[in-house]
Chain A
Amino acid sequence: MNAIEADRVWKYFGDYPALRGATFEAAPGACVALLGRNGAGKTTLLRILANLSKPTKGEVKIFGEPGGGKTRERIGYLGHGIGVYDDLSAIENLTLFGQLMGVADPATAAAAALERVGLGRVREGFAREFSRGMRQRLAIARAFLHKPEVLLLDEPFTSLDDRAVAVLHDLLRDALAKGATIVMSTHQIREAMELATQVALLERGRIVHSGPRTVEMLADPGWLYRKYEEKPQ
């Protein structure tokens, strides 16, 4: 049974089809690098997978479920915004999200998550006083707080400082080791290629390529784009 299934998903913004029948699957434990130019529909697809918006046509299934209340406890989402409250302290932020995500013991889970991203010492500090790197690591801690089995990351590596990149790398590797499924849209093809077991290319709202990540992709990450540039769809 697939971890993530998107079956001919269409999404219209007014009359404009942002997604035109995108079909895509990810088996449990897979790490999918979702590539595509700006406006190809990567963010739209990720938001639909994360239940932030409904597809106009077609269906999305997470572990075979249409993405109702219960399955969301197993989904971790990291969007462009860091998704933490500036007026709350780091520990308060994570405790709140733990409570909302249905984590058994939110306080300890929050403390553990902060340690893992190296924010243990500043747990009482307010998010608004954090440096950029610390805020990014706090956002990463929030996404991994409830040990999600499915991780949906929208360009996670963009504008991360190198410490945050290292932290994210370890957490992703650790989650993959535990059998989590990851879908990561990205432009930093190098980082994505290293972790990815599967690559999907989105071109004007359609998945034009979805398959295992091959060696030459790692060697020359631009290869995939060129391959689909020559023959216009």
Chain B
Amino acid sequence: MREKKIYVLAILGTILMVATMYDILVAMPDEAQQGPIGKMLLVHVPAAFAAFTFYGVAVWNSIKFLVKKDFHADSLAVSNIEVAQVFTLINLVTGSLWGHIIWGIWWTWDFRLTSQFMCFMLYLGYLLMRPAVSDATQRATMSAILAILAVADIPLVFFAIRLRDARMQHPSPVLETGKMDPSWWPPFLLMWVVYLLIGGALIMLRLRQETVRREMDSLRRELHAM
């Protein structure tokens, strides 16, 4: 049953993706000041939105695990975090490429890029730590705690870097002008939906693996108890 769901999501996502990409690449006029590169925003920012959506779902499931000790919630959390990392990576790579054109530098500690990079670092620690814990209950509890601590850190990073930007002599370049051309909203939201669909399919796939892994854990214990 789950296989079907994954394919439906994936196909739907791909169709919508092709439509949106066509719309962005061909139909839409170039961005006024920045030229074609300006449209990078339509890939760059929705990726962050998708990533934060998945991190949010993961933290919600982590809390659910701590309260209800439901291992399915833990598997859902790790699947969401892994896929969210993929979209964070997309955001960082596109942001860097975009930055290279506008300011000629590959990376800047702009507060949006940095908090995204911090997300990546914090949840990278989460993913690295999981295989190091053998006992399933402990691994799930630790992961839940880490996920919650990490999400509490993100607003602080945002605030800290913003503080730092204000102090630095050369005001660090801001990626977008903040006010986006209203006609851009439809492709922007569509892109976000595309990421959610494709991300959803990946999460389902990863979730199936996680449940299989749990099954293997209990089979190993079964063997041990025999």
Main secondary structure of the interface of B (DSSP, over half): helix
Whether the pair B218, A15 counts as a contact (CB closer than 8 A) is yes
Q: Smallest distance from the beta carbon of B223 to chain A beta carbons, Å? A: 11
Q: Is B135 an interface residue (CB 8 A)?
A: yes
Whether the pair B137, A39 counts as a contact (CB closer than 8 A) is no
Whether the pair A15, B71 counts as a contact (CB closer than 8 A) is yes
Whether the pair B217, A56 counts as a contact (CB closer than 8 A) is no
Among A45-59, those with CB < 8 Å from B are 54, 56
Whether the pair A13, B136 counts as a contact (CB closer than 8 A) is yes
Q: How far is the CA of A150 from the CA of B8 in the complex (A)?
A: 58
Q: How far is the CA of A54 from the CA of B67 in the complex (A)?
A: 12
Proximity bits, A1-43, B CB within 8 Å = 1, else 0: 0000000000011111000000000000000000000010000
Given A14-B218, A16-B221, answer yes or no on A56-B136 (Cβ-Cβ < 8 Å): no
Q: Is B167 an interface residue (CB 8 A)?
A: no
Whether the pair B69, A13 counts as a contact (CB closer than 8 A) is no
Q: How far is the CA of A204 from the CA of B214 in the complex (A)?
A: 20
Whether the pair B225, A14 counts as a contact (CB closer than 8 A) is no
Q: Smallest distance from the beta carbon of A106 to chain B beta carbons, Å? A: 33
Please tell me which one of the listed residues A13, A54, A56 contacts residue B221 in the complex, with CB atoms under 8 A apart. A13
Residue among B135, B215, B221 with the highest chain A CB neighbour number at 10 A: B221
Main secondary structure of the interface of A (DSSP, over half): loop
Q: How far is the CA of A13 from the CA of B222 in the complex (A)?
A: 12
Query: Given the complex, which residues of A lie within 8 Å of B224, measured CB to CB?
Result: 39
Query: Given the complex, which residues of A lie within 8 Å of B136, measured CB to CB?
Result: 13-16
Whether the pair B214, A56 counts as a contact (CB closer than 8 A) is no
Whether the pair B225, A204 counts as a contact (CB closer than 8 A) is yes
Q: How far is the CA of A97 from the CA of B71 in the complex (A)?
A: 36
Query: Given the complex, which residues of A lie within 8 Å of B214, measured CB to CB?
Result: 14-15
Q: Smallest distance from the beta carbon of B34 to chain A beta carbons, Å? A: 51
Q: How far is the CA of A147 from the CA of B214 in the complex (A)?
A: 43
* Shortest Cβ distance from B220 into A: residue: A16
Query: Given the complex, which residues of B lie within 8 Å of A12, measured CB to CB?
Result: 69, 71, 137
Q: How far is the CA of A86 from the CA of B71 in the complex (A)?
A: 38
Query: Given the complex, which residues of B lie within 8 Å of A56, measured CB to CB?
Result: 69
Q: How far is the CA of A56 from the CA of B224 in the complex (A)?
A: 21
Whether the pair A15, B137 counts as a contact (CB closer than 8 A) is no
**Shortest Cβ-Cβ A-B pairs, 10 listed:** A14-B136, A15-B218, A16-B221, A16-B218, A14-B217, A39-B225, A15-B214, A13-B137, A56-B69, A14-B214
Q: Which residues of A contact B (CB under 8 A)?
A: 12-16, 39, 54, 56, 204
8 A-B pairs besides A15-B215, A16-B218 with CB distance below 8 A are: A12-B71, A13-B136, A14-B135, A14-B218, A15-B214, A16-B217, A56-B69, A204-B225
